[in-house]
């Protein structure tokens, strides 16, 4: 799990939204992660599955919860003021325009489908 205290110390005046990739190694730490984040004043977290990985583990923290809303088809849960989005890439309706560090501009939501400008330049030269 990310070191939340260190992150917050570096960005003390910035509203922070955490994003955590769910794996078999951390799935049982989610409740503790949410508690620590809440204690540190975090208000938003996205729990994400690995893109292309079909494995799904039960998230104990969600078992007795109903979503308070949906964000781009992803359920959002409330944990006493902490909003937690369960982000599932293959079910999202998200649309965005992404500018990459190499200058590539892509409207592909799934970044792995975005064209790579540096590869295209190499092939065309």
pLDDT above 50: residue 120: no
DSSP reduced 3-state for 17: strand
**What would the pLDDT profile of 36-95 be if each residue is shown by its tens digit?**
999 988 899 999 988 778 888 888 899 999 999 999 889 999 999 999 999 887 666 666
CA 34 to CA 79: how far, in whole Å?
8
93-118 confidence digits (pLDDT tens): 666 676 777 777 777 655 555 555 45
pTM score, whole prediction: 0.70
What pLDDT shows up at residue 54? 80
State the average pLDDT for the chain: 80
What are the CA-CA distances from residue 112 to residues 25, 50, 77, 84 (Å)? 24, 12, 27, 24
All residues at 6 or more sequence positions from 59 whose CB lies less than 8 Å from its CB, including other chains: 22, 27, 30, 47, 86
Report the distance separating Cα 49 and Cα 24, nearest Å.
10
CA 68 – CA 75 distance, rounded (Å): 8
């Amino acid at each position: 799990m990310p070191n939340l205290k260190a992150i917050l110390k570096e960005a003390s005046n910035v509203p922070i939204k955490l994003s955590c990739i769910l794996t078999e190694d951390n799935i049982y730490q989610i409740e503790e992660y949410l508690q620590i984040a809440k204690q540190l004043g975090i208000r938003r977290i996205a729990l994400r599955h690995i893109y292309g990985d079909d494995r799904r583990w039960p998230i104990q923290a969600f078992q007795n919860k109903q979503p308070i809303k949906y964000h781009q088809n992803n359920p959002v849960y409330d944990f006493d003021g902490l909003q937690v989005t369960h982000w599932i890439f293959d079910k999202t309706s998200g649309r965005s325009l992404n500018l990459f560090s190499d200058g590539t501009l892509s409207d592909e939501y799934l970044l792995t489908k975005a064209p790579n400008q540096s590869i295209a330049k190499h092939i065309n030269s």
